Amino acid sequence: MPNLNTLPLELRSEIMKLAMENIPEYYKKDRARDVSLVCRALNDISGPYIFNRYNLDIRQESSLRISPIYPPNSPRYRWDKIAIEQRLAHLRSKAPYVRILTITDYGTCEQNTGDTYQPQPFPLEFIPQLMATLRMLSGLKSIHLATVSRRELSRSMVSLLTDVWDWIRQARPQDLQISGDFKITDDDVTPPIDGLTTLKVKWCSLGHKPLLDTSSVANITLEYFSGPFFLFKPVASKLESITITLNLGGRYSSEPLFDFSGVPRARIKVDGHILSKWQGHSLQNKRLFVEGLSGYYVRQFNTLF
């Protein structure tokens, strides 16, 4: 009588698929890990479920207890070369399974560790090691790059080398998310990413302008917290929806931030985190737009405008 070890790979994969059916997305990884412990036959096919989403935390805030880090109990927020190399090696070992990748380097917390060498986020000398690992990944659907914001730590913008953006273009993800004070490139123009449909930028500021100016995507989500500001004037013919979250408080630009005249058919949604802030700056909110909203049909929710 056949057992799991003797079943063809296709049948074992079907068993795994049935075990994952009707499981909420946020429980699937835990369920897959449980199934993988049953026997080696199921362990061999559990990788796509356990490592579909992969967080490469180079340096992470120590306060984020929910997010596990590899290797266990290794330093979260300081530069530990051995631990970081182990994290890269672990990602390489799981490369065939990864489809959604998050890379985080918040740098080192200012309440110091006493170490003499604590580089800024994404240090130049680390990029070759990182790129050697990233080039082993294929079939990525989503990429998320995250770093510190100047509101959290008083630091200059984080520059990423052209190599990183060339890799993203070659990976051709469907979704790209940028979080933090990244300076996209030193050039005025960033080549577009083929196949990209959704772009999300958190802590949006002037450093992200080259990426937004050349993006030809269907959906854009921007979150603003502080400057430096710039005029966002999308013209992409594929653009279907724009979602903007403004949490500026009293930090308003003297010039308009948005000009949507080039995308008359796009659905535009503007939110504010704090209702009282919107109500207290209602006139300034309207001045954020070049057209002043007079030419738009504006649906008002919670009297934001």
In a domain, 298, yes or no: no
In a domain, 73, yes or no: yes
172 and 278: one domain? yes
**Token pair recorded at residue 283:** 């006139």
Q: Which residue has the higher pLDDT, 62 or 229?
A: 229
Task: Say what the alpha-carbon torsion angle 271, 193, 26, 247 is, to the nearest 10 degrees.
Answer: -20
22 and 125: one domain? no
270 and 124: one domain? yes
State whether the Cα torsion 43-47-48-53 is positive or negative.
positive
CA distances from 11 to 18, 19, 29, 153 (A): 11, 12, 21, 52
**pLDDT tens digit sequence for 190-203:** 777 889 999 999 98
In a domain, 1, yes or no: no
**pLDDT tens digit sequence for 93-108:** 999 999 999 999 888 7
**Token pair recorded at residue 33:** 């890990």
User: Percentage of the chain with pLDDT > 90?
Assistant: 23
State whether the Cα torsion 271-277-280-281 is positive or negative.
negative
189 and 253: one domain? yes
pLDDT band at 136 (very low <50, low <70, confident <90, very high): very high
In a domain, 296, yes or no: no
Q: Is 15 left (phi over 0), alpha (psi -120 to 50) or beta?
A: alpha
30 and 155: one domain? no
**pLDDT tens digit sequence for 25-53:** 777 777 777 777 777 777 777 888 888 89
In a domain, 111, yes or no: yes
In a domain, 194, yes or no: yes
In a domain, 90, yes or no: yes
Distance CA 113, CA 116 (A): 9
pLDDT at position 217, please? 92
Domain count of the chain? 2
Q: Structural domain of residue 276, as residue ranges?
A: 52-287
151 and 251: one domain? yes
Contact yes or no for 32/51 (Cβ under 8 A):
no
**Token pair recorded at residue 147:** 């770093």
